[in-house]
Structure 1
């Protein structure tokens, strides 16, 4: 098993165990398991194990994957993309699904916040397991949802969350923010949107 996936699994087991255990000896064992997961993850990222362990300890409750919701918006045959502040790469607009959001609402909200456009999510194009598609490593397990969206109004405007926004031809995309999106996800989502075929599902 990949060391990142192994560390994610160990962290999830420790988190869930700490949520439900009442025996002090079991709690100590799960805390040790979480520390081992943090050490393994820190080695993969060349990070401080204590910082990783602190990040892990902030996660509470039964451990489940996080959800990233993204929007595919096509105008005149070109894709709407945003340039991210943290790595300078480009991606489909989107972000974390907040508690209380339906996944499609999260995609619509993120588009408005990042680009100034009002959109409606009309179709789920795919559910992607981030661990399986060549993204750079991440401490937590993530599912990525991509929705086809139609424009309703608004005007393009750069927000505090992005460096730039624009529409790009699918065969002439700018350098991607690979932590958020990889070429296969864009290519497959476009094909599904055009053909009306079944959504991708890992």
Structure 2
């Protein structure tokens, strides 16, 4: 590879929705933001395997991915995140080194608690017409 080959990190996000419609969000240890759980996809994983692992690692909740919600690119960091709508199927909720708190919030509250670039993934999980493709600067969507 030469220096002109684009380098991107690929992440996964789990928009986990219970049967009562509440959405799982975590308070990130590194920046204190409330967001859906997720993280960097490992080389040997499929995106679905990665979202299952990341949600479990960060929250103790086991999930089943249902569908791709969208593709989100952080233009500042060159991170592409694949968001999946997931349903909880077991596990036990716990805080971790990455998540100092977790909560099941009503959709509107989860959207309000998260920065726009993360909240839109929740909005998109409940919208028709996806999967969506969006770009952001880490906090705010870029049109």
C-alpha separation in 1, matches of 2:82 and 2:49? 12
Partner of 2:122: 186
C-alpha separation in 2, matches of 1:190 and 1:89? 21
What is the CA-CA distance between 1:177 and the residue it aligns to?
Answer: 5.2
Given candidates 168, 190, 195, the residue that maps to 2:105 is 168
C-alpha separation in 2, matches of 1:65 and 1:73? 25
Contact 2:15 2:86 (8 Å CA) reproduced: yes
Give the unaligned 5+ runs of structure 1: 1-15, 19-29, 31-61, 132-136
Partner of 2:10: 67
CA RMSD of aligned residues (A): 2.0
C-alpha separation in 1, matches of 2:103 and 2:113? 13
Give CA-to-partner distance per residue, 1:153-192, whole Å, 9 cap, x none. 11111112211011111212363256xx433232122224
Contact 2:61 2:90 (8 Å CA) reproduced: yes
What is the aligned length?
Answer: 132
C-alpha separation in 1, matches of 2:14 and 2:126? 11
C-alpha separation in 1, matches of 2:84 and 2:121? 12
Contact 1:87 1:177 (8 Å CA) reproduced: no
Query: Do structure 1's residue 17 and structure 2's residue 2 form an aligned pair?
Result: yes
* Greater strand proportion: 2
Partner of 1:134: none
Partner of 1:17, secondary structure, is: coil
After TM superposition, the structure 1 = structure 2 runs for residues 88-99 of structure 1, keeping only pairs within 5 Å, are 88-99=32-43
TM-score normalized by the length of structure 1 = 0.59
Which structure would you say has the larger RCO, counting Cα contacts within 8 Å and 6 or more residues apart? 2
Query: Do structure 1's residue 155 and structure 2's residue 92 form an aligned pair?
Result: yes
C-alpha separation in 1, matches of 2:53 and 2:121? 21
Q: Which runs of 4+ in 1 moved over 3 A?
A: none
